[in-house]
Chains A and B, each alone.
Chain A
Amino acid sequence: MAEEHYPADLRYHPEHDWLRLDGDEAVLGITWFAQDALGEVVYFDPPQVGATIAKDTSYGELESVKAVSDIFSPASGEVLAVNARMTSTPELVNNDPYGEGWLIRIRLSDPAELDTLMDEPAYRAYLAGLS
């Protein structure tokens, strides 16, 4: 399992999802806090490539043995790719939530939405406030 960490180059959503900007595209995933709360992930139910997803809504599900968790999108856009390795090896999201455990890549439909997301210090403060 990964050590608790929150990369400085990512943007963070209050539902514990991250976004990595890549031009007019973005890669999305869940944070260390989210995978830790979920436990060992055994199933990833992704959206279809080509689907449109909306900021603050659920685009898929991650399941542990004991729980099902919605995955919330930090931004709106069109799904360009789904991490196929997550389907065969869902525990990647526990071991490497920001790298090998990435979930989907989207083309951003409204880059201005990113302004509402938290940076790393803000997300850490947010987490501290939750406990």
Chain B
Amino acid sequence: MTDGPRTSLYDRHAAAGARFGAFAGWQMPLHYGSPRTEHMAVREACGIFDVSHMGQIEVTGPGARELLSWALTNDLGEVGPGQAQYTLMLDDDGGVIDDLIVYGLLDRFLLVVNAANVAACLARLMERSGPEADVADRSREIAMLALQGPAWKDGLASLVSTPGPLNLEYFEVTEDGICGAPAFIARTGYTGEPGVEILCPWGQAPRVWDALTSGEHPATPAGLVARDTLRTEMGYPLYGQELSRDRTPIEAALTWACDVADGAFAGCETLRRQAADGTPEKLCAFTLTEPGIPRAGAAVIADGRTIGTVTSGTLSPVLDRGIGMAYVERAWTEPGREVAIDIRGTHKAARIARRPLVDSSPKKG
């Protein structure tokens, strides 16, 4: 397991005792010994994730806004300088190419996309970029760290050049210095806790990591396993599990991230039709009401038949019970509905639940 690209923090992870695994081809830290401890550190104090494997695509030029208004589902009119937005890139029939965050910066847009979808997102944008918009892949130039947890400000405060990052509203982004390195710092994240994501030059990431994991308020290094249990507790979708080319945002309960009424983005006709007629299946979250751990691919059972399929499943460290998400026949997606999950031949009782499944919010603080 020694092939595959590494981030600039590989040696830091190895020194911290990381167990590595391949994710979208990258050698990433799965955990540093105890995913459960890392998960709870994020919920209760502050954790830090290396997410440098994710892609960064820069779009500039007078035609940038028009290009992105075609490519992305959410209303780009709301994205001015200093604003981030969760949005999706669809193909012509409404299937999801990626879910991503678009950052409005002073003179350009930056898209942060899933590691596995960088090529697909670039290709899609290149279909329409033309002479008025430049599309550049800056993934290997920009490192990204996620600092997440209620105590996120404690360690960051002494490292930033101005108080700007500490006063960001949810989904705002600012340019600042961190440990003397230029950085974009955004109040975004994938854990359900308040915190920031820090984008800095690839080679500067070790210095920033060292500063944030030491001192009086060191953040706890957290790996991809904890990242997955945290986002599942929040009911956040993961591309490749909840989202794919075979699913639309309407089915995935992401209508809120699409300008269905007024948008002219690629795929909008399909979305308008689905928003009006409904879809046969819809994404929902569930908790088990007896011991067990649901897994992706498991059947959801009700009425003596299969009514859906689990897309993500795990044991929630906070709830201490099995949780997950599934695509389920629309009639069964109402929170409170009692169903069962077929776990390797045994039907375990479960209940459809509202998201988030835990009492966390990234907007606090």
Chain A residues within CB distance 8 Å of chain B: 1, 39-40, 42-43, 45, 61, 63, 65-66, 68, 91
Contacts and interface: CB of A to CB of B under 8 A. Distances in A.
Given A39-B19, A43-B291, A65-B229, A1 B36 contact: no
A65 B33 contact: no
A40 B315 contact: no
Contact of A40 (B31, B228, B291): B31
Given A40-B34, A43-B315, 14 more contacts: A39-B19, A39-B35, A39-B225, A40-B36, A43-B293, A45-B292, A63-B315, A65-B36, A65-B225, A65-B314, A66-B30, A68-B295, A68-B344, A91-B36
Contacts of A63: 293, 315
25 contacts: A39-B19, A39-B30, A39-B35, A39-B225, A40-B31, A40-B33, A40-B34, A40-B35, A42-B36, A43-B292, A43-B293, A43-B315, A45-B292, A61-B344, A63-B293, A63-B315, A65-B36, A65-B225, A65-B229, A65-B314, A66-B30, A68-B293, A68-B295, A68-B344, A91-B36
Interface in B209-244: 225, 228-229
A42 B34 contact: no
B206 to A, nearest CB: 26
B288 to A, nearest CB: 11
A40 B344 CA distance: 21
Contact of A66 (B34, B36, B225): B225
Contacts of B344: 61, 68
A1 B33 contact: yes
Contact of B293 (A40, A42, A91): A42
A65 B35 contact: yes
Contacts of A45: 292
Shortest beta-carbon contacts, A-B, top 9: A42-B315, A65-B225, A63-B293, A40-B34, A65-B35, A43-B293, A40-B35, A65-B314, A40-B36
A65 B223 CA distance: 12
A65 B19 contact: no
B315 A65 contact: yes
A39 B36 contact: no
B5 to A, nearest CB: 22
A58 to B, nearest CB: 11
Contacts of B293: 42-43, 63, 68
A129 B36 CA distance: 32
A39 B31 contact: yes
Contacts of B34: 40, 91
